[in-house]
Structures are given as structure tokens and as C-alpha cells.
Amino acid sequence: MSQNTAHYPSPVIVYARVSQGFLPVLGINITAIIENEEGHQVTLELWDNGAGADSVKNDGIYSRYFTDYHGNGRYSLKVLTQARKNTARLSQQQNKALYVPGYAEDGKIILNPSKPEVTDDVAGAQTHDFSRLTSGGSFTVSGVPPNGNHSQTFPPGKIVDLEAKFQGDHIQLSWTAPARSSIKEELTATL
């Protein structure tokens, strides 16, 4: 968890780092099971897709925002990690340097070379099927309003696949609308 205590409406980031040696493990299923003191359980699939709480895609850190509070008190966390049917693979560490597309000099914009494509370089090793269940500790939540739907309090995640294409004298923008759930909607707009 990102913190031991949370005050509503602040979300808690639940994350799991999966590696073999120093290499991140990709392509696995990670499920967080979060339970409050009254026994209400929430199952949350963690993602390594660079969206929402996950800041870097394919770095072996799977994460998600937890916002489904059911009252004040202590919440416990368990994490289930599973690799099935040879889907898990090891990845090379990726460079996390920020790409700067250009800069201004004497009032002129000078462009840098195009950003190199990020590939899912694989270290050449598949991992065996495995399953692990581990305790993630607990956190305390306060300030949750009683008996309410809190889903509209939290904004959707960031857009991670924005594309712009020239179409004559217009620009067409395409993106996937970040949803609060796993359902996503494809959108297109022309300017």
C-alpha cells in the first residue's frame, strides 16, 4: 500500500512488485483481496499498463487505486500472484529517462530526434507456472461518509493512448476514455 492511513476521499495505491532476481516478471495475473473489519471483501485486479496508479508500463510493478471504502476502520490486504500456461516472462529493465520532444532557442523551436519505440524486450527466459499468496499488511481509513455511493468522488485515470492524425485541414484525436472500472470506451474527435 502507498500509505498506512488514509482519510476519505484520498485513494490508497495497492501495488505488488514481481521480479526474478533483478528482472521484472511480466504477463501475470495479480489480484489484491482487501477486507474490512466487518468482513466485507473487495477483489481488485492489479495492472502493469502505465495507466491509473501504475506510473510505468511493463516494469514489473502492478498497481491500482483502491477507492471502494465500506466504512471507517482497518482494512487488511492479501495479494495473489499467478502465472499460468507459460504467459509469464522476464523483461529487461527499461530506461526511465524523460523524453523531451524539443526546446526553444532564440525564439525558435528546435525538435529533438523522434522518441525511440519502446519494445517489450524479453530477456529470453520464460518462467514456470507459479502461484503465491502473501499478506500485504493493513491500513486504516477515516472520514468515510455512512451509507453512500462513493464512486463519483474519484476521477477516472489518465489517458495513456492519445493519438493525433492530420486529415486535411483538421486534426483527428483518438483515445480510450479511462474508466473507473475495467470497461473502457474508444473515443474520436475531429478539430
**β-bridge mates for residue 185, sequence order:** 177
Task: Please tell me the distance from the alpha carbon of residue 143 to that of residue 153, in angstroms, as a whole number.
Answer: 13
175-to-112, 163, 188 alpha-carbon distances in Å: 25, 6, 7
In this prediction, residue 35 carries a pLDDT of 94
Q: Cell 500509505, residue?
A: 3
Query: With contact defined as beta carbons under 8 Å apart, do 143 and 81 qualify?
Result: no
**136-150, 157-171, 175-189: segment of lowest average pLDDT:** 175-189
User: Which stretch, 62-66, 82-86, 124-128, 160-164, has highest mean pLDDT?
Assistant: 62-66
Indicate the pTM of the whole model.
Answer: 0.66
- Tens-place pLDDT, residues 24-33: 888 889 999 9
Confidence of residue 176 (pLDDT cuts 50, 70, 90): confident
| 163-172: pLDDT as tens digits | 888 888 888 8
For 71-83, letters b (16+ CB in 10 Å) and e give ebeebebebbbeb
Residue 144, burial from CB neighbour count under 10 angstroms (0-12, 13-18, 19+): middle
Q: Is a pLDDT exceeding 60 seen at residue 23? A: yes
Q: At 141, is the secondary structure helix, strand, or coil?
A: strand
141-156 tens-digit pLDDT? 998 887 666 555 666 6
Q: Cα 86–91–94 angle (5° rounding)? A: 160
Cα diameter, the chain: 64
pLDDT computed for residue 118 by the predictor: 55
C-alpha cell at 5: 492511513
Point out which residues pair with 35 in neighbouring strands: 41, 76
The SS3 of residue 165 is: strand
Q: Identify the CA nearest to 131 among candidates 82, 176, 78, 168.
A: 82
List all residues 6 or more positions away from 89 whose beta carbon is below 8 Å from its beta carbon.
25, 26, 27, 122, 123, 125, 126, 127
